[in-house]
Amino acid sequence: GTTITISSNHWVMAWAGLEINTLAILPMISKSHHPRAIEAATKYFLTQATASALVLFSSMTNAWHTGQWDITQLTHPTSCLILTSAIAMKLGLVPFHFWFPEVLQGSPLTTGLLLSTMMKFPPMTLLFMTSPSLNSTLLVYMALLSAALGGWMGLNQTQIRKILAFSSISHLGWMAIIITYNPKLTLLNFYLYALMTTAVFLTLNSIKASKLSTLMTAWTKTPSLNAMLLLTLLSLAGLPPLTGFLPKWLIIQELTKQDMATAAIAISLLSLLSLFFYLRLAYCATITL
């Protein structure tokens, strides 16, 4: 499904790839037959089906007005608006973010990893391909709201999967703010985010930690792994000497070049909110090292 979407030029092929992706991940979410897992799968299915329908609707509206089914030829303003909403829903950008923490909480850690990285790649590719014609003001507002809510709502969480879900939402804010100005930076940010999140999820999976309380006692079993987890979490937070700071630095630089210093300052300050819960996670991981 991912390969079909990222290699297609025609909207219907891209839509078909997105649908295959959704159907493939559903059994993985509901594998445990726990009521919460079934609820997560249902929420995920309904959200993704709605978003896919909107993708198809926006492409049909564009084809109706321009006679073009090519993904890069999305020029009609209404179609652009509907597509932005559809992809925001698929990714979990604010204000369509409500499903994501719930679905991640109801899924196993390995499925959560797929939902946070692999499943976001096809919608990101569609954003990348349509970026020249998207409404930049709308995306900037969505990005700032994502960074704010992702940081703010993650503050009082004790479930690690929910914290990682809100972290994903705030990272998506950084990706969305720059997509219309420099799409390659968005891809760089996404790749690095996927790499660091994979490291965090796999570490948590190997030490079987899903709550902060279990993370606190995990250091006795694997002290070196927990030390690496500390560094990965700080990198995900975007602290200067670590890898995660690179895309943020480049994005701030690009926004300043585009005369958007206010937006750059706003998103930098809002990311301090998420820094707090990353530090708390890192502290729990290495509490007595």
Task: Note whether 62 and 2 are same-domain residues.
Answer: yes
Determine the pLDDT at residue 215. Answer: 87
Q: Number of structural domains, the chain?
A: 2
Task: Note whether 65 and 157 are same-domain residues.
Answer: no
The whole-angstrom separation of Cα 91 and Cα 18 is 12
Task: Note whether 169 and 258 are same-domain residues.
Answer: yes
pLDDT digits (tens, 9 = 90+) for 200-236: 999 999 988 888 888 888 888 888 888 899 999 999 9
Range of the structural domain that residue 96 is part of: 1-107
Inside any domain, residue 114: no
Task: Note whether 178 and 278 are same-domain residues.
Answer: yes
**289: pLDDT strictly greater than 60:** no
Among 107, 124, 146, identify where a domain stops: 107
pLDDT digits (tens, 9 = 90+) for 84-104: 999 999 999 989 999 999 999
pLDDT digits (tens, 9 = 90+) for 36-56: 999 999 999 999 999 999 999
- Return the structure tokens found at 75: 């020029």
Which pLDDT band holds residue 145 (cuts at 50, 70, 90)?
very high
Which pLDDT band holds residue 288 (cuts at 50, 70, 90)?
low
The whole-angstrom separation of Cα 245 and Cα 132 is 26
Mean pLDDT of 115-133: 94
Mean pLDDT of 260-266: 94
**Chain centre distance of CA 278:** 16
Determine the pLDDT at residue 84. Answer: 95
